[in-house]
């Protein structure tokens, strides 16, 4: 029969064994759940899907739950109400929130795309396109106040075209219906994201003649962001998240459009593989996918210029106020 001391020793041994198992197994495999809300489902966000499919988030101990929140306003509402932890959306939304005043501002911490993602599509084949051809035309643009529209108008002005005087600009069509409106006969030119631009080319409904991404320059176009309070309480999680983003960006930079397509294909089951390859190739060639998550000063200032010209900026917001590059810079220097 065991005495009390023997029982205590046995109990302690069992507890020690359990603790060892927990550290060796449970502790190693434990994950932190992070809810991401992406503003839309887009080939433009290929590195995000690569980070999930290649297990880069999982390798960092993160269990990522991805949902599409459909629109900048809805995405920001989800973030502010804690329905999601991290938002993937245009940096202009964080500026809008900051301009309204907030005790818990939204902070940009990891950039995903660094150019506009739209293309100018013409209804007719144009062998030698010149921006001057848009003067007097009917142009089907994007929603007012959004980055596509602002980058589009910025480009037109850069080309010597007043978007509100030199052409008929249509902006009252919902984002989801722009492509179908053009297909049904509205407009001579339209501003479209991929894969719709490539789909129209394949169907003979339109022809890509220029890139707004190339013309408007580098911008913090789509960025992972969260509330300042979340960063304060979950700094280690944000660093791991950013590390995974850096791994994905490096992987995308080093692989072909075909390899990238095969990785992200599960997210676009209704889209032909060759269309996705075409879209990825265009984005790679114009360097739309950022190669690291750092949001630099020149990009930020270009964003402010674009917003200022569009009349959407109350005052210039310094990068330091709502951008935290700490995590991105560490990931860039340490993640291989």
Residue 146's pLDDT band, with cuts at 50, 70 and 90, is confident
DSSP state of 39: S
Q: Where in the chain is the domain with CATH 3.40.190.10?
A: 32-115+219-334, 118-216
Question: Each residue of 199-240: pLDDT tens digit?
Answer: 999 999 999 999 999 999 999 999 999 999 999 999 999 999
**What top-level class would CATH report for the domain 118-216?**
alpha beta
Burial class from Cβ neighbours inside 10 Å (0-12, 13-18, 19+) for residue 114 reads buried
Provide the pLDDT for residue 175.
85
* Secondary structure class of 61 (helix, strand, coil): coil
Question: Each residue of 296-332: pLDDT tens digit?
Answer: 999 999 999 999 999 999 999 999 999 999 999 999 9
Residues 54, 173: Cα–Cα separation, whole Å: 37
* Secondary structure class of 71 (helix, strand, coil): coil
Q: pTM score, two decimals? A: 0.89
> Bridge-partner residues for 168, per DSSP?
138
Residues 34, 321: Cα–Cα separation, whole Å: 24
CATH superfamily for 32-115+219-334 is Periplasmic binding protein-like II (3.40.190.10)
Mean pLDDT of 175-194: 95
Residues 208, 187: Cα–Cα separation, whole Å: 14
Mean pLDDT of 132-161: 94
């Amino acid at each position: 029969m065991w005495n009390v001391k023997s029982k205590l020793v046995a109990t302690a041994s069992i507890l020690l064994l359990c603790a060892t198992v927990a550290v060796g197994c449970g502790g190693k495999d434990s994950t932190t759940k992070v809810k991401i809300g992406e503003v839309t489902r887009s080939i433009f966000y290929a590195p995000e899907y690569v980070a999930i499919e290649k297990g880069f988030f999982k390798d960092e101990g993160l269990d990522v739950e991805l949902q599409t929140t459909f629109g900048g306003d809805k995405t920001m509402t989800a973030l502010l109400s804690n329905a999601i932890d991290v938002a993937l959306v245009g940096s202009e939304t964080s500026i809008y929130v900051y301009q309204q005043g907030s005790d818990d501002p939204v902070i940009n911490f990891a950039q995903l795309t660094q150019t506009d993602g739209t293309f100018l599509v013409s209804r007719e084949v144009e062998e030698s396109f010149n921006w001057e051809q848009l003067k007097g035309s009917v142009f089907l643009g994007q929603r007012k106040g959004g980055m596509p529209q602002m980058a589009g108008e910025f480009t037109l002005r850069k080309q010597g075209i007043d978007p509100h005087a030199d052409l008929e600009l249509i902006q009252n069509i919902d984002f989801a219906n722009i492509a179908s409106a053009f297909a049904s006969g509205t407009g001579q030119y339209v501003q479209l994201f991929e894969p719709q631009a490539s789909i129209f080319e394949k169907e003979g409904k339109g022809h890509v003649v220029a890139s707004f991404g190339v013309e408007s320059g580098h911008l913090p176009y789509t960025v992972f962001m969260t509330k300042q309070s979340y960063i304060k309480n979950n700094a280690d999680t944000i660093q791991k998240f950013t590390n995974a983003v850096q791994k994905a960006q490096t992987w995308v930079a080093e692989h072909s459009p075909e390899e990238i397509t095969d990785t992200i294909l599960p997210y676009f089951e209704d889209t032909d593989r060759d269309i996705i390859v075409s879209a990825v190739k265009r984005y790679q060639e114009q360097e739309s996918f950022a190669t690291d998550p750092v949001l630099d000063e020149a990009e930020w200032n270009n964003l402010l210029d674009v917003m200022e010209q569009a009349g959407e900026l109350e005052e210039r917001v310094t990068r330091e106020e709502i951008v935290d590059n700490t995590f991105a810079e560490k990931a860039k220097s340490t993640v291989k």
